[in-house]
Every structure is written in structure tokens, then in C-alpha cells.
Amino acid sequence: MPLYVLLAAACAALSIPLLTVAMVGGDRRGQRRIRQNLAAGLTAQGAGPAATQNRNLLALLERLTLPANRAKLERLHALAGRPAAWSMRRVLLAKPALAIGVGLFGLLLLGARPGGPLLLLVVAVVVLAYFVPDLLLYSRGIERQAAITLALPDTLDQMMIAVEAGLGFEAAMSRAGSNGKGPLAEELIRTLQDMRVGLSRRDAYLALSERTSVPDLRAFVRAVVQADAYGISIAAVLRTQAKEMRLKRRQRAEEKALQIPVKVLFPLMLCILPTLFIAVLGPTVITVTTSF
């Protein structure tokens, strides 16, 4: 086996512990201070040299993320629903860890076969590896916002029925959140939890609007805030909003249905029609060429 292949395999094996430390490592400095304050007066064991080295390594990896990219990641992480398996800290640590691992592997390839095109390819792959967590969060956020848009009309119908049956708006929201599934039900429960811990209703509704990028949900939140401010009947607001959301959902379905012929045209012309012509005209062309 060539030497550069062995070196590349060893580099890949060494990058696995670095990525593992980035994904499973210790806490941030602020969280460590909070835990120290909460554990004041308790008997704590001092951290060993290995734990100190791990914390220093994690702090170094965390500093490799640019502040602007960190703020963008915060927004993407919020739109993705802040998944428990991918906390913000793990995402920040995974970005430089992936870039460093791919960069080391690329350096080994450059050492075995140096060249300008390979260097450009290695740089492009390193940059792509650095932004892989961003792409994953962006994709997860788009799927989550689409699920919220799809579930919003049915949820408003449930809340309207509950309010007209005599329940308050918060009780109807709680029933819709507990009976429903998906990201919209989670956001409704999160909003109720914000109000239970002391946040005002207006601020809780605005926080719900800020955590999502769905225009329909933001319009509903604005209508609820105005109804709460001016004393408008919430049942009438829910009835109007539910009717409007159902109409918009129907219009979006019709729009997607009208887009299907345009989307099918290019695959039909590039893939299906040439194959059909070959299957239909191919034997005829072969017969004509053999006859003459």
C-alpha cells in the first residue's frame, strides 16, 4: 500500500477524536460560572490536568468561529427549533473541527501529489466543510417553517372551535399545542411557558413571531396583539384568520400545481424524449444503414 494512503488514513483516524471532543465536550465559560455559583458551599473535586486541557482545546476551537457567522448561526439555530442533539455550542465546535480534519487530509494529499488544481480543490473542500453545519441548520429550518405553514390553518380551526365553545384564548392555545404534533405545537407550548414564567402576553406573542419566519404566523400574531390591545373579540379574529389561512393554503396548492408542467418540461426534453426517440427510431435507422 502506498505511503501517502497510510498517512491519509492515519490523519483521518486522528481527526475523529478531535470531532468527538467538539461534539461531546464541556461547557462554556458562562455556564461553568453558573454551575460554580449554584454549587457554592458544596464539596467539589478539582478538575484534573486532562479536563483542563480539554477545556482549553474546546475554548480554542470555539474562538475560531467569526462573530458575524456566530450571529447568523444563532438565527439559523432558532429557525431550526434549537434541536437538542445539535446545541449551539456543539455547532460552533463542529465547524472548525471539520475544517481542520479535512485540511489535514488535504495536506497529506498535497504532499503526495502537489499541484495547482489539487490545491484549489482542497481549499474549496475545506471551506465547504467549515460551512456544513450552516447548511444543515438552514435545511432543517426550511423544513420546519414549511411544516408550520402547512399546520397553521388546521391549528387555527381547532383554536376557533375551542374559543367558541367557551374556553379562553390561552386555554385554546394549550389544547391545540397538547393535542397537536410538530413544530407549531411546540412553539405554542413554548409561548405558554414564556407567559407562565412572567413574560407578558404581548412579549410572548412577539417572541413567537421572532422565532419563526412564516409570514402567515406573523400576520396572525399581529392580529392577536392588536385584538388584545383594542379589546376586539378573539373569536372573530380567529374566525377571520382561519378562513384567510385556508384560502392561502389553497392558493399555494394551486400555484404548485400550475408549476408542475414547467418543472417537468426540462427533464422530459433532456431525459425522456431522447430515450424514446432512440427506442422508436433506433431499429429503423439500423435497418436503413444495413440495407444501403
Q: Dihedral through CA 142, CA 148, CA 151, CA 155, nearest 10?
A: 180
Kindly state the DSSP code that residue 85 receives in the 8-state scheme: T
Amino acid at site 136: L
CATH number of domain containing 170: 1.20.81
CA distance 269 to 274: 7
Q: Do the domain assignments include residue 125? A: yes
What integer best gives the mean pLDDT of the chain?
Answer: 80
Q: What is the pLDDT of residue 41?
A: 47
* Tens-place pLDDT, residues 59-93: 666 676 677 777 888 888 888 888 878 888 888 88
Please check whether residue 66 lies inside any domain of the structure: yes
- Mean pLDDT is lowest, of 3-12, 37-46, 108-117, 133-142, for 37-46
In a domain, 238, yes or no: yes
pTM more than 0.85: no
- H-type helices in 165-200, by residue range? 169-179, 183-196
Compute the distance between CA of residue 68 and CA of residue 11 in angstroms, rounded to an integer.
Answer: 31
Determine the pLDDT at residue 110.
Answer: 80
Q: Establish if 229 belongs to a structural domain.
A: yes
Entry field: residues in the chain:
292
Say what percent of the chain tops pLDDT 70: 77
Model pLDDT for residues 201-210, shown as the tens digit of each residue: 899 999 998 8
pLDDT at 124 over 60: yes
Domain count, the chain: 2
Percent of the chain with pLDDT over 90: 24
Residue 95 is part of which domain span? 3-36+48-130
pLDDT of residue 54: 59
Whether residue 19 is contained in a domain is answered as: yes
Q: pLDDT tens for residues 236-261?
A: 899 999 899 999 989 989 998 999 88
248, 263, 287 — which closes off a domain? Answer: 248
Distance CA 189, CA 170 (A): 10
pLDDT tens per residue, range 168-180 = 899 999 999 998 8
- Of 67 and 228, the structure prediction assigns the larger pLDDT to 228
Q: Does the pLDDT of residue 142 top 90, yes or no?
A: yes
Whole-angstrom distance, CA of residue 127 vs CA of residue 69: 13
For cell 435497418, name the residue: 287
What 3-state DSSP class applies to 250? Answer: helix
